[in-house]
Amino acid sequence: MHLRLRKAAWGIITTSLLLGSSIFSPTAFAEERQESLPKIMSSETGEYIIKLKNAAGTRSMSQLGVPDGEVSLVGASREHLLIKLPASREEHVLDGLAQDPNIEYIEPNIRMRKAAEITDPRFEEQWGLQTIQAPQAWESKSSGAKVTVAVIDSGVDYTHPDLVNRVDTRNGYDYVNGDDDPMDDEGHGTHVAGIIAAELNQEGIAGVSGKANVEILPLKVLNKYGEGTMYDVSFAIMDAADLGADVINLSLTGERSNSEPRMMEEAIRYALKKGAVVVAAAGNDADRVERYLPASLPGVIAVSAVDQELELAKFSNYGSGITLAAPGEEILSTFKGGRYAYSSGTSQATPFVSGTVALLKVKEPKLSVDQIKERLIKTAVDLGKKGRDSQYGYGLVNAYQALQYEPPPANLRSIAVTPSKLSLRPAGTQALNVTATYDDRSQANVTDGAVWKSQDETVAKVDKGEVHAIGFGKTKLTASFEGKQTTIPVEVVVSRLESSERRLTMKPDAETDLKIYATYGDKTREEVTPADVIWKSRNEQIATVKEGIVTAHDTGSTSITASYGGKSVTIQVSVKMTKLVADPAEVRMRPFAKTPVTLYAYYGNEREDVTDEAEWKTSNAKLAVVEEGMITTTGIGTATITGTYRGKSVRIRVDTSLRKLTVSDSRLELKEGEDVSPVVTATYPDLSTEEVMQVEWSSSNEKVAVVDEQGKITAIKEGMATITANYGGKRIRITIKVVK
């Protein structure tokens, strides 16, 4: 509901305002928006309504380019902001906001006022009820349906004896004070509510609705002085529609600015779309109604006021926008504090029309907004000039005639069936509707009254518009009503047949399941029961199929065909190995070690471990040997292991070559006769290391230092020598300095 969204957004905006800040510049959006908004009229309230283009969430004022302190945020919803500007900065701020490409429009928040003045309270005859023949209307049969009339006004005294059982306090709301208590502190709304729905309870007065099940939804938008704003009224209209109001009574007016009141227009369109009848006071300025809102807005029933002589009241507005007239002078009704009072104004005329609409909705709940408006217009008592005029519109509202009205029978022009054609799945059903169109453009659903026939009941049958698909094929259905006839083509077909697999690669003696999916003319898709499918193999020596289970027999290629509902799909079958893979594909290890290799044969997406069945060979037995996938290295270097299975081979590279040779000391200083045994370490491709003993040693100068086969170095006499260690094709040198 809009008022709840408004409350939720308030916290978001307030927090954002407290945290955000930026420097305002009127040209901040010049590059983003080539055209600014039209010139914004000044607001008498000092408040402006902003509608944002992006409804996903409300932005802060600082994000709009307005520094904190230049603007006060009064209210907010997902789409709208209500701001108040100081007079000294008004033009400057508005000019800047008009450049923002994210703003759809800015408009002044027009002041709304009650459309009546209260006189001294006293109790007398209610001439207005007799004038519109309300008592006679009460005698009409009623459906007993509950009807809600939203009174968007100064609130309602829901404790008044004549209203206490008529007011929906659970859903009422006070937009002025922002709470859930719509108590009337001015009296105007209570007066309006009494004209509509005061109880027939042997005390006080009677409302237009009499004993009908009519409830008042009080939405307070006017303060104790009878004043409010377009912003609050607009939200109240939308909230009333969301709360299911059948009628929205707007006994208030505001003078239009030069621009269109877009927020209120949007609110009224929203309410009309929801099925609410919107009734508004023409205004009390003896002026043209076109200058005032909401009465001048599209879709609104605008009501002028007449006196007891059925003359236009001297205060009533007039003009081409007037829809109806109603009693509006010296009208007695309920008043705040449990009292009664007389009041005059179009505010009093408006609820006479709203009450009549409520009676119509109670009697015929399914009447649309347009049908109700047509009833009121056609049954109005013509006043003034013949036909519609600028003072009384179509005439004086008449409750009794509105309830008695029966549209004249119209000639049947045509019938149409929806949908106009059908495509179904086997055993599928579909409801058809027959709509009759008459000369007066009215329409009626005549499905149950139509006569139905199917040309071929082996394909589809029809009963009271319910179509049942029987079998594959095409037929036509005929609907006849009061001499008119229409034909509907029906088909029960498969539009597409698919298989879970388009290609199969299998190994001999293997089995796999195929699933078949049918898409029907109605776009539905289902897996077809395998027994309902016709299966065929092109070569059963290679593969056979039964109810979707494919069995491979011998190597080769064939195809499987599945047929259903006149459609076929073909699956290619290949019984062969697609690839042979070794894991790992390359082995890096140290000499005289072992590691296993696994050989996989792939048949499409399926694989099989064939390590034990494969043939294995080595390219160099001095470096590596293999047996049933176990590789054993016997030397330093590289070799190739080959695995072969069913005519396919795969090679595994074996690498035991020495990566690096290091020595514990590369420079040594020894005294004559001293000896030392350096440690030589080998690093292999798998990054493992080991101390090696089978090293070939040599000395560059045996007069200075010698080295034996175990790598022990002995200093002979003073001088320099180089000791070299050779292993696995790598060598490393040690510099020896011998001192005395």
CATH number of the domain enclosing 273: 3.40.50.200
Does the pLDDT of residue 706 top 70, yes or no?
Answer: yes
How many angstroms separate the CA atoms of 165 and 184, rounded? 16
Question: What confidence score (pLDDT) does residue 33 get?
Answer: 37
- For residues 637 and 68, the model is more confident at 637
Closest CA to 210 of 158, 133, 275, 310: 133
Please list the helix, strand and coil fractions of the chain in percent, rounded to the nearest 5, in that order.
15, 40, 45
Q: Is the pLDDT confidence value at 116 over 60?
A: no
Q: How far apart are CA 482 and CA 499, in angstroms?
A: 50
Side-chain-facing half-sphere of 462: CA atoms under 13 Å: 27
Shared domain check, 645 and 545: no
Q: Which of 39, 74, 108 is the last residue of a domain?
A: 108
* Least confident residue range of 118-127, 310-319, 429-438: 118-127
pLDDT at 6 over 60: no
- Which pairs from 223-226 meet CB under 8 Å and 24+ separation? 223/154, 223/176, 223/185, 223/186, 224/154, 224/185, 224/186, 225/186, 226/113, 226/114, 226/154, 226/186, 226/188
Same domain, 454 and 515: no
Tokens of 365: 């709940």
Determine which one of 347, 454, 537, 699 is catalytic.
347
The percent of residues in the chain predicted with pLDDT above 70, rounded, is 90
Based on the residue annotation, tell me whether 347 is a catalytic residue of this protein.
Answer: yes
Answer yes or no: is pLDDT of 26 > 90.
Answer: no
Residue of 188, 232, 234, 655 with catalytic role: 188
Q: Are 552 and 584 in the same domain?
A: no
Q: For residue 521, is pLDDT > 60?
A: yes
Judge whether residue 47 has pLDDT over 90: no
| Percent of the chain whose pLDDT exceeds 90 | 68
Residues 371 and 480 in one domain: no
Q: Is residue 23 part of a domain?
A: no
Residue 98: predicted pLDDT: 77
CA distance 573 to 732: 62
Q: Specify the CATH number for the domain of residue 683.
A: 2.60.40.1080
Domain that holds residue 459: 412-492
* Residue 463: other Cβ atoms inside 10 A: 9
Region of poorest pLDDT, from 110-119, 371-380, 433-442, 486-495: 110-119
Contact 485/478 with Cβ under 8 angstroms? yes
Instruction: Identify which has the larger pLDDT, 141 or 34.
Output: 141
Of 603, 634, 655, the residue at which a domain comes to its end is 655
Q: What pLDDT band is residue 96 in, cutting at 50, 70 and 90?
A: confident
CB atoms within 10 A of CB 276: 26
Phi, psi of 710 (to 5 degrees): -90, 0
Please check whether residues 570 and 595 belong to one and the same domain.
no
446 and 316 in a single domain? The answer is no
Is residue 281 assigned to a domain? yes
What value does the mean pLDDT take over residues 209-226? 94
pLDDT band for position 34 (cuts 50, 70, 90) = very low
Quote the pLDDT of residue 35.
47
Strands 47-52 and 80-84: antiparallel
pLDDT at 320: 93
Do 310 and 427 lie in one domain? The reply is no
Confidence grade of residue 85 (pLDDT, cut at 50, 70, 90) = confident
Whether 649 maps to a domain, the answer reads: yes
| Nearest of 373, 368, 150, 149 to residue 274 by alpha carbon | 368
The H or E element that residue 40 is part of is none
What is the DSSP secondary structure assignment for residue 635, as one 8-state letter?
A: S
Q: Judge whether 188 counts as a catalytic residue.
A: yes
CA separation for the pair 534, 568 (Å, rounded): 9
Q: Over 50: is that where the pLDDT of 513 sits?
A: yes
Residue 398 lies in a domain: yes
* 469 and 564 together in one domain: no
Does residue 4 carry a pLDDT above 80? no
Domain's final residue, options 655, 686, 710: 655
Highest mean pLDDT among 73-77, 253-257, 280-284: 280-284
- How confident is the model at residue 697, as a pLDDT? 93
* 651 and 691 belong to one structural domain: no
The predicted pLDDT at position 7 comes to 38
Is residue 259 located within the same domain as residue 313?
yes
Query: How does pLDDT run across 121-176, given as a tens digit for each residue?
Result: 333 568 999 999 988 898 877 777 899 999 999 999 999 999 999 999 999 999 99
Which band of pLDDT confidence, cut at 50, 70 and 90, is reported for residue 58?
Answer: very low
Q: Answer for the pair 575, 554: CB distance below 8 angstroms, yes or no.
A: yes
User: Which tens digits make up the pLDDT trace of 468-503?
Assistant: 999 999 999 999 999 999 999 999 999 999 999 999
Q: Is residue 31 assigned to a domain?
A: no
Q: What is the pLDDT of residue 61?
A: 57
Return the top range by mean pLDDT from 104-113, 603-612, 672-681: 672-681
Confidence of residue 119 (pLDDT cuts 50, 70, 90): very low
What is the model's pLDDT at position 124? 53
Among the listed residues 286, 223, 251, the one whose alpha carbon sits nearest the alpha carbon of residue 45: 223
**Could you tell me if 738 and 715 are in contact, meaning their C-beta atoms sit under 8 angstroms apart?**
yes
115 in a structural domain: no
Average pLDDT score, the chain? 87
Between 342 and 2, residue with greater pLDDT: 342
Mean pLDDT for 500-529 is: 91
DSSP secondary structure code for residue 531 in this structure: G
Total domains present in the chain = 6
Residues 713 and 569 in one domain: no
478 plus 499 within the same structural domain: no
* 3-state secondary structure (DSSP) of residue 23: coil
Lowest mean pLDDT among 52-61, 625-634, 705-714: 52-61
Given 100, 153, 184, 389, the catalytic residue: 153
Question: Is the pLDDT confidence value at 64 over 70?
Answer: no
pLDDT band at 29 (very low <50, low <70, confident <90, very high): very low
* Structural domain includes residue 480: yes
Structure pTM? 0.51
